[in-house]
Structure 1
Amino acid sequence: MKFRIVVILIASVCIASDLFAQPGLPGDPAQAPIDGGLVIAAIAGGIYGAKKLIDRYKEH
């Protein structure tokens, strides 16, 4: 009889500790693709810079 009470007590403590446990860490955030827009911005910046250099040499 005492063994049965001890087993029930231990089982209820284990189950109760699982119920009040904190949740796990959140997953990784979604990664934003930077390939397409970044490449277009770099090309546009290069073209703009080249145009400025050409215009500067034409003035002198």
Structure 2
Amino acid sequence: MFLVVFLLQQTSVFADTPPPPPSPPGPLPPGLPLDGGLFLLVAISISYGIYKLNKIKKASN
């Protein structure tokens, strides 16, 4: 039993090599403004919500 446990412990010696260190950071990509189309997105989502509510009301009548 001792020999089996001893041999199973030796398998960790044959593990993979560690990964290479990460490359140094390059230039960051340009940031995208979030406020450019935010008003348009809110307006479209509100109008779609009103459309869906009206569709549900007409279906229930």
Query: What is the TM-score of this pair, normalised by structure 2?
Result: 0.43
Larger radius of gyration: 1
